[in-house]
Structure 1
Amino acid sequence: MSSPLEILLLDDEAIVGKRLKPALEKIGCKVEVFLDPQLAVARIQEKTFDIVVTDIYMDEMDGMQVMDLVHEKSPRTKVIMITGYAMISLARDAMEKGAFDFIAKPFKPDDLRAVIAKAAKALGMDIDPAPGTQG
């Protein structure tokens, strides 16, 4: 792979970033983790990410608003929504508004790695979602 996949991970629960950052770095991704949507949005204005993974329900701003801002700046960026409120209607809304995919909590790091690999492929990049295993 030429350059690492640049990922911004936004979730207001610290444990999510703590668990997922090493899992994504293990497959060669560069990951920036944010708890605060305002800080994440400021960073999105400064830098273009390949993939943004965002929680849907947060206090100051929801994931749909974050997705709109990401797509305004970089239509190429893939947005993956995560939420503890697994409602099909919400997933459908997110997908209709341009989300690349949707994952319901609780999920395993492998689940996210598989979706990241799918998004990378859509971007024309190739990553192995299961490092260390022979395929």
Structure 2
Amino acid sequence: MSLKILVLDDEKIVGERLKSSLEKNGHNLEIFIDPARAMDRIQEEKFDVVILDIRMDKINGIQVLETVRKKSERTKVIMITGYATLEVARESLTKGAFDFISKPFKLKEIHQAVQNAEEALQAAGH
């Protein structure tokens, strides 16, 4: 199954690493550094998976998560952060995040989270 994935991280290198890695698995990726532009794109398009950083300048990842959940209940959101606290993880999961990964992460962790999201989408009949 080829997934439509949006990646939002204000560190350009993160998106680039994920794009080359996940596209090898046949997924279609759109990479954003600017949260406002990513939010516009989320309004236009339905994504299977959204991978997003929690800490960004103007808009934080929790706000983006809430927007994604309003737009599409089926979209699986994977949160990534270099500031992993139990409180942030709990808030993310309470507000509907599918998974939570701490930075620095291994690509294997992201691949596993995406695979889990794919299996959950298939199980739900999407």
Q: Shorter-normalised TM-score: what interval?
A: over 0.9
RMSD: 0.9
Corresponding residue number in structure 1 for 2:95 = 97
Q: Secondary structure of the residue that 2:122 maps to in structure 1?
A: coil
Shift >2 Å, 4+ stretches = none
Match of 1:28 in 2: 26
Q: By how many angstroms is 1:109 displaced?
A: 1.1
Q: Which residue of 2 aligns with 1:10?
A: 8
How far is the alpha carbon of 1:115 from its aligned partner? 0.4
| Normalised TM-score (structure 2) | 0.95
Task: Return the match for 2:40 from 32, 42, 45.
Answer: 42
Identity of aligned residues (%): 54
Which residue identity lines up with residue 52 of structure 1 in the other structure? Answer: V
| Amino acid of the structure 1 residue aligned with 2:95 | K
- TM-score norm. by structure 1 comes to 0.89
Unaligned 5+ segments in structure 2 are none
Q: Which has the higher helix share?
A: 2
Q: Distance in 1 between matches of 2:72 and 2:96?
A: 12
Query: What are the superposed Cα offsets for residues 2-38 of structure 1, whole Å, 9 maximum, x if unpaired?
Result: xx20000000000101111111111111000000000
Q: Does 1:77 align with 2:79?
A: no
Q: Across the two proteins, how many residue pairs are aligned to each other?
A: 123
Of 112, 116, 122, which residue of structure 1 is paired with 2:110? 112
Unmatched segments (≥5 aa) in structure 1 = 126-135
